[in-house]
């Protein structure tokens, strides 16, 4: 079905985004996979094209388009190349940018955002800890008051862009007696004494994503690096999770749609028993179901994108988008592997990599089980 949420400006922007992907990402995928990271040159080129500052005001180097549909378009085009690359760029321009723009002081914006938009600074967000994933209120990283700043101790894990991030938004407990109301956000900068990165984590999928552990040992962070209000870090995170989750939905369904299209082409060409495998009634019915499910989900996600752009997407609706899109994505890709037969299990085929890459989407940005819990609570259950 025709998508109706985009204008001519969005279509022109999509063409630019696709050109960037075709020129700067696709030819270097094997390099990214081998090095388990996106090199800085790809970030710099994205910055030059204006893709990293969509939510950043012009005076700080961004374009301040004021239209979330542009964020969605860029996420879709990168997701068609790789779900892993989309997560790396998305954490930077879609998740971290609102923290800096909404919560940063004038001095902080001047100091960080121009290089952030240019790709010279790569950003990450440090929420998840080894002792707990989706339970952000239970974090154990601490920040104790010191002369002129704070001393951080603790660790984070599963941090996307953690291997190369120049700026890490870190959630730490500043008042243990207040529970969730005693958490503050800090910006940890590359090179600070006491800040160390662990190994690049050996993941099942998303190989080209530089996911790492981060360690803070008696790390002094000056007052000038406190982001937002003291002890309101949990609230700041909750206020911005809706964008992270609708962004995940955009990437999830775009990724599934692309691989499904490639699978349809494959089953038209692959033959068995003298016929294209796609012509067998069972496979034909499976594909018909997949296409319909993807289009229905796309319409739901598009509706959420517009709602978020108009500032009327609730946290609960964002949770619905996140869990459902991840569920559909994984169902579609599992079926695509099956339709490829033995070749679907070979890493040289995109469908195999896509299948592995997608599995984590039911876990991160709040597990699907947590999303259902939020929805259930909203229903009074």
Q: Cβ of 43: how many Cβ atoms within 10 Å?
A: 23
Q: Is position 129 annotated as part of the catalytic site?
A: no
Residue pair 207/133 in contact (Cβ under 8 Å)? The answer is no
CB 304 within 8 A of CB 321: yes
Cα angle vertex 232, ends 228, 238, to 5°?
A: 95
> What H or E segment, with its residue span, contains residue 157?
strand 149-159
The DSSP symbol for 56 reads S
Q: What is the DSSP string of 274-321?
A: TEEGGGSHHHHHHHHHHHHHHHHHHHHHHHHHHHHHTT---HHHHHHH
In this structure, are residues 36 and 89 in contact, taking their beta carbons and an 8 Å threshold? no
Residues 6+ apart with CB under 8 A from 29: 81, 82, 208
The candidate with the shortest Cα–Cα distance to 246, out of 364, 98, 101, 72, is 72
Q: Which of 244, 289, 310, 348 is catalytic?
A: 244
Q: How far apart are CA 207 and CA 31, in angstroms?
A: 11
Residues 188, 216: Cα–Cα separation, whole Å: 9
The rounded distance, in Å, linking the Cα atoms of 241 and 137 is: 14
CB distance 186 to 170 below 8 Å: yes
Q: Check: CB of residue 252 under 8 Å from CB of residue 329.
A: yes
DSSP-based three-state secondary structure for 150 = strand
Residues with catalytic function: 244
């Amino acid at each position: 079905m025709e998508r109706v949420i985009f204008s001519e400006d969005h279509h022109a922007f999509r063409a630019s985004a696709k050109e960037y992907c075709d020129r700067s990402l696709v030819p270097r995928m094997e390099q990214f996979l081998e090095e388990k990271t996106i090199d800085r040159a790809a970030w710099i080129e994205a910055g030059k094209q204006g893709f990293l500052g969509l939510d950043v005001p012009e005076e700080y180097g961004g374009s301040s388009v004021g239209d979330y549909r542009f964020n969605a378009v860029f996420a879709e085009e990168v997701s068609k190349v790789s779900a892993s690359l989309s997560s790396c760029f998305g954490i930077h321009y879609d998740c971290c940018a609102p923290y800096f723009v909404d919560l940063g002081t004038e001095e902080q914006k001047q100091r960080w955002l121009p290089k952030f938009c240019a790709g010279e600074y790569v950003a990450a967000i440090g929420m998840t800890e080894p002792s707990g994933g989706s339970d952000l209120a239970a974090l154990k990283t601490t920040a104790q008051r010191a002369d002129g700043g704070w001393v951080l101790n603790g660790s984070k894990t599963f941090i996307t862009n953690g291997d190369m991030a120049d700026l890490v938004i870190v959630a730490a407990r500043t008042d243990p007696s207040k529970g969730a109301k005693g958490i503050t956000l800090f910006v940890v900068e590359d090179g600070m004494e006491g800040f160390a990165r662990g190994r690049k984590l050996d993941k099942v999928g998303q190989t080209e994503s530089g996911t790492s552990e981060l360690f803070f040992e008696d790390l002094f962070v000056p007052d000038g690096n406190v982001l937002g209000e003291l002890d309101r870090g949990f609230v700041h995170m909750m206020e911005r999770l809706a964008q992270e989750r609708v962004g995940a939905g955009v990437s999830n369904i775009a990724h599934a749609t692309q691989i499904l299209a490639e699978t349809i082409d494959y089953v038209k060409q692959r033959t068995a028993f003298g016929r294209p495998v796609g012509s067998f009634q069972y496979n034909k019915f499976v594909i018909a179901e997949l296409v319909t499910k993807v289009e229905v989900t796309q319409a739901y996600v598009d509706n959420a994108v517009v709602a978020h752009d108009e500032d009327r997407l609730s946290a609960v609706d964002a949770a619905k988008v996140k869990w459902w899109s991840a569920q559909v994505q994984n169902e579609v890709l599992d079926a695509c592997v099956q339709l490829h037969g033995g070749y679907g299990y070979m890493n040289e085929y995109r469908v195999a990599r896509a299948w592995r890459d997608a599995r984590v989407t039911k876990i991160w940005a709040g597990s699907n089980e947590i999303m259902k819990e939020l929805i259930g609570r909203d229903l009074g259950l």
